């Protein structure tokens, strides 16, 4: 199969490329990525000779069209992905996540190609901290931030193209990923690299907000499960039962890194901060037989800490700029 992986130089996209080469050998992979601040070719350095790489944006319909024409399947990871950035500068979120997805849809429609679109649980907004509710594929769309609204918009476009034009597309909505190659603006790698830099990590608000953590390899396995066995037109939620509040996650990282639990800074909360995300992944588990391989968050986190310890050359060049941006926001 010829796979076109958009956004393949980002966190999940790069992990998907590595996962595919290791666990699903025999496919031809072309990565198409704009190399924004979040894209990093170093994440693909080890597989440079096994893939093709084209730099460009999914909003460029002409280049995209020629790449889609040559592919069998498109997996669309390309997106602006950081909530905090979407609050200060929403424009690229609308451009890439909405207009870019529209261009991807038009290209797959024109050439009759299969699409798998990567979405997020954030399209559903948030859940109360104490409610027993979980998101399902039927939960109403109630996005809170410019980021999640742009991802929700993209999903609605995909659904309309399925219904109106009959494109062969599937969508997956995953919970919070962690693992190697995640940009250090995000919570877990920011916390780890702060500790490695001798700076106490930043906890937003009261730290009670809950996220549902999944190891990125389990997400990649779920995407392959959907590519191989998913029903065209369907959406599948992906989650591994990894709910934890931010204060607990930070305390675990501090413990694993030999720091006291209160070695942290309480900083200003995120505007409109979603309280809780929790996924019900029954459909993916029961219909397609997916199960997560990572059983222990503690072990997955320890392995992730080791990865950042041994890959300082990957993240260190960006640390100062990332923290300078946070400092402006008091975070």
Positions marked active-site: 121-122, 147
User: Count of alpha carbons within 13 Å of 259, Cβ hemisphere only?
Assistant: 20
Structure tokens at 305: 């800490």
3 state DSSP class of 79: coil
Q: How far apart are CA 76 and CA 93, in angstroms?
A: 15
Q: Which CB atom, from 105 or from 123, has the smaller least distance to ligand TDX?
A: 123
Q: Per CB under 6 A, does 82 bind ligand TDX?
A: yes
Q: How far apart are CA 189 and CA 3, in angstroms?
A: 29
Q: Which CB atom, from 57 or from 144, has the smaller least distance to ligand TDX?
A: 144
HEC-encoded secondary structure of 105-173: HHHHHHHCCEEEEEEEHHHHCCECCCCCCCECCCCCCCCCCHHHHHHHHHHHHHHHHHHHHCCCEEEEE
Q: How far is CA 2 from CA 29, 43, 109, 175, in A?
A: 6, 21, 17, 27
Smallest distance, Å, CB 147 to ligand TDX? 7
Residue in 86, 170, 235, 246 binding ligand TDX, rule: CB under 6 A: 246
Beta carbons of 157 and 119 less than 8 angstroms apart:
no
Beta-bridge partners for 189: none
Stretches 31-39, 89-97, 204-212, 219-227: which one binds ligand TDX (CB under 6 A)? 204-212
Please choose which of ligand TDX, ligand NAD, none residue 246 contacts, taking the beta carbon within 5 to 8 angstroms, the exact cut-off set by kind. Answer: ligand TDX
Q: Per CB under 6 A, does 134 bind ligand TDX?
A: no
Q: Which CB atom, from 35 or from 263, has the smaller least distance to ligand NAD?
A: 35
Please choose which of ligand TDX, ligand NAD, none residue 211 contacts, taking the beta carbon within 5 to 8 angstroms, the exact cut-off set by kind. Answer: ligand TDX
Q: Per CB under 6 A, does 170 bind ligand TDX?
A: no
Q: Which CB atom, from 7 or from 300, has the smaller least distance to ligand NAD?
A: 7
Q: How far apart are CA 100 and CA 10, in angstroms?
A: 16
Residue in 59, 76, 120, 150 binding ligand TDX, rule: CB under 6 A: 120
Q: Which residues bind ligand NAD (CB under 6 A)?
A: 6-7, 9-13, 33-36, 38-39, 57-59, 77-81, 96, 100, 118, 120, 151, 174, 176-177, 183
Q: How far apart are CA 306 and CA 232, in angstroms?
A: 39
Smallest distance, Å, CB 263 to ligand NAD? 25
Beta carbons of 52 and 88 less than 8 angstroms apart:
no
Q: Which CB atom, from 68 or from 79, has the smaller least distance to ligand TDX?
A: 79
The contact set with ligand TDX (CB under 6 A) reads 81-83, 120, 122, 176, 186-187, 190, 202-204, 209, 211, 246, 270
């Amino acid at each position: 199969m010829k796979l076109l992986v958009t956004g393949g130089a980002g966190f999940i996209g790069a992990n998907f490329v590595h996962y595919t080469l290791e666990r699903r050998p025999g496919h031809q992979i072309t990565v198409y990525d704009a190399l924004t601040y979040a894209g990093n070719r170093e994440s693909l350095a080890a597989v440079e000779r096994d893939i093709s790489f084209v730099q460009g944006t999914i909003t460029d319909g002409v280049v995209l069209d020629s790449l889609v024409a040559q592919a069998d399947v498109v997996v669309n990871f390309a997106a602006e992905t950081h909530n905090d950035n979407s609050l200060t500068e929403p424009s690229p979120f609308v451009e890439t996540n909405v207009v870019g997805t529209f261009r991807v849809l038009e290209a797959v429609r024109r050439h009759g190609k299969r699409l798998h679109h990567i979405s997020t649980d954030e399209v559903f907004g948030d859940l109360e901290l104490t409610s027993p509710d979980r998101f399902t594929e039927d939960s109403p769309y109630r996005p809170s931030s410019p980021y999640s609204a742009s991802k929700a918009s993209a999903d609605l476009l995909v659904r309309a193209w399925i219904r109106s034009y009959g494109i062969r597309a599937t969508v997956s909505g995953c919970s919070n990923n962690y693992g190697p190659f995640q940009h250090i603006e995000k919570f877990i790698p920011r916390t780890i690299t702060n500790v490695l830099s001798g700076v106490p990590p930043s906890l937003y608000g009261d730290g009670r907000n809950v996220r549902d953590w999944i190891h990125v390899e389990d997400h990649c396995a779920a995407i392959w499960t959907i590519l191989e066995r998913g029903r065209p037109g369907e959406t599948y939620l992906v989650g591994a039962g990894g709910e934890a509040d931010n204060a607990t996650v930070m305390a675990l990282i501090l413990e694993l890194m030999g720091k006291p639990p209160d070695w942290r800074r309480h900083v200003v909360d995120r505007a409109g901060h979603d309280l809780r995300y929790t996924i019900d992944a029954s459909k993916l588990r029961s219909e397609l037989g997916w199960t997560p391989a990572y059983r222990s968050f503690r072990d997955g986190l320890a392995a992730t800490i080791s990865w950042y310890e041994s890959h300082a050359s990957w993240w260190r060049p960006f640390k100062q700029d990332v923290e300078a941006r946070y400092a402006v926001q008091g975070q």
